[in-house]
Structure 1
Amino acid sequence: MSENISANPLVSFCFTTFKRGAILKSTLESIRLQGYTNYEVIVSDNDPEASGRHFVESMNDPRFKYFSNGQNLGMKPSFNKSLERSSGEYIVMIADDDPVYPDMLQTLIDLRASHPGYGMYMGGCDWFCADKDVAKQYKLDVGTNSCISNEHDLNFVQIFTPSDFIMNLFTFRIFSHFLWSTCIVKREILVKLGGIPDYGTPFLGDYAYMSVSSTQGVVVLNRSLGCQTIHKENFGRNQNEQLPVLTRNFPVYMESKLSYLPEWPEIKQLMERFFGLWITGHMAFLHHYYKKNGLDNKSLVEAEQEVMKTGFVNRFRIKYQLKKNTPALHDFIVKAKKLIKG
């Protein structure tokens, strides 16, 4: 049963937004449908013209609180502004285009009650795609695509130590994809960390966030609690200059936060393998995307040259060239290897 609305909310939803009022409103509506009611919503707006104010105030709900940053701080600093402005014991970091399901909070609060004492409680997610061309490029179905595990029953619960969680996160043994808005994290953990990860780019921010937030252990439920909207305006298609920044800074940031773990040498190897596969896959996708849409790929080629200078990324150069130039052959080889392994 939900707790009553109070001056001290248990959960704070922390948003950043920038000139996407209609999308923001849709996600705010998904929060207002929550069965669990003891929460607040903090929206930090990067638009100097404060265009998001109307959409937050139109909720006509004192739990929904609007703040103008006065300038465009960027995604990560704006998220951290929302964290500063929050007061809940637990935090949900949420993008303005990733709605959550009506039972999301109640499910996680129940999970907390049945497994007390951990720092993060997490559910799975779906990917939702309405555009057939975008779906084809991502190899998705039009509509809802589940990202939860097929290795476990629905509602299966797993409990992880920090090291086990991070190793499973980077090897996709929990879910095929993750969404930070389908988990609650103790605010004290994020404050101690200095806020959400900020290493110069939003790329892979969700993986960094979940990794460094696992310090008090993680409880994971095999059930979708929200969805990531896949559309033509998703972050990552026009920020090629940030890919070398990511390659330089992400591994350094992760080591600075996780090297205290005894298992760090093993985690580092898994993290570097994950990173190499992710960034080469992302760049291959962009090459196909630009070609299909007749876009100039000069900035991508420049970024690619810088990224591939990094040793643990360059190890995947053959796989990358296959995905980039002969994707059908790459997919055939991957399927053949899976069949051989049984």
Structure 2
Amino acid sequence: MWPVPGGYGETLVASHGLRVFADVWRAGQPVRWPDGSVVSLPITGGSITVDRTQSARRSINITVPPFLRSGTYTQVPALPSLPSDVLGHYGQELRVRHALVAADGTLLVVPVGRFRIDSGAGSDLGLTEVTIAGVSREAYVVDDIFTAPRTFSNPSGIAIIRQLILETLPDAEVAVLTRRDRRVTPTTWDDRWTAISELAASLSVQVYADPTGRFVITDLPTLATKPVWRFQPQAGGSLLEAARTSSRTGVYNRVAVQGSTPDGATVATTGVDWDKDPTSPTFYGDPDTGAYGKVTKVVSMPSLTTLADCQAAASTQLALSTGGAESLDLATIPHAGLEALDVVEIVTDPGRVFATARRHMVDNFTLPLVPGGQFSVATRDVGAVTDS
């Protein structure tokens, strides 16, 4: 979860207002109108989607009026027609902040994304609102594919990930928030983002652009990760609805990670982990004894060379594969600090917290950018809360 201002949680569940700031930037500087003021968009609708399964984790889709006020008595069409237009897709970016307005007027501001503008659509006659769509900064790295396969080796896998990002965006900030690292023996990849993703998975880390546009390399959550927020209904809570879906599709409760095959060996070095928590809905074991069954996923990570590395990777991959048997789609008061893969607690009956509290992992959510918009959160149940 992104750090939020003091008092944010209390304001969220109390009466509050909403303000959203969407400033336009280009070449590392805010775009300004002729009078020197920063171009800040009057958003009439739209949302930000955060999805752990997408290479560019954050995406934005907003609507703005057909004309933007550029001065006291002047305006310009919002729909871009030239590369230099304010909302063109030639390097222009949106930097968006989401602010709760407390009862005393205090603004509690949270950054929610730095987006490359990818498209604009609307009436050339100015008869309709203009729709602007964009994606977070991972997209620049995804687009910068290799022209030929490349081989990398380094005492530090993190160093390779950082190099691959900075080759595309030399001025990007890359925050390394993990101590996990290892030597990478010569390994060949055909694609830049594939190399980053596979290295990250083998190190049990995640790589993404945070709400300020900074690239972050940090640990993947595990089944033991502590929750960052509690959703609950009624007074003092933010949960409005929880629609439950049950499915076995895509659920694995045992993961085997196969690393390299040592010289002279006939099989790859393999680490295995499984869901051992009897309170988990995907507890590994004989279904005749009340367990979920035995569903195994095998993942190949040739850059891993030791059993310890394979075992660690299996544990983190397991956390991303279990829990799908029970998923919740939440309708809740928008919390702008939430991040994909955050672990949260969900309580469906405040009168029976211990009995109904479950631990979930956030798969995706949609953050509204106008008052009254629905904040939907999709999660996966990863086990009972045992320390409430």
Task: Point out the structure with the larger helix share.
Answer: 1
Larger radius of gyration: 2
Return the TM-score normalized by structure 1.
0.26
Task: Point out the structure with the larger strand share.
Answer: 2
Return the TM-score normalized by structure 2.
0.24
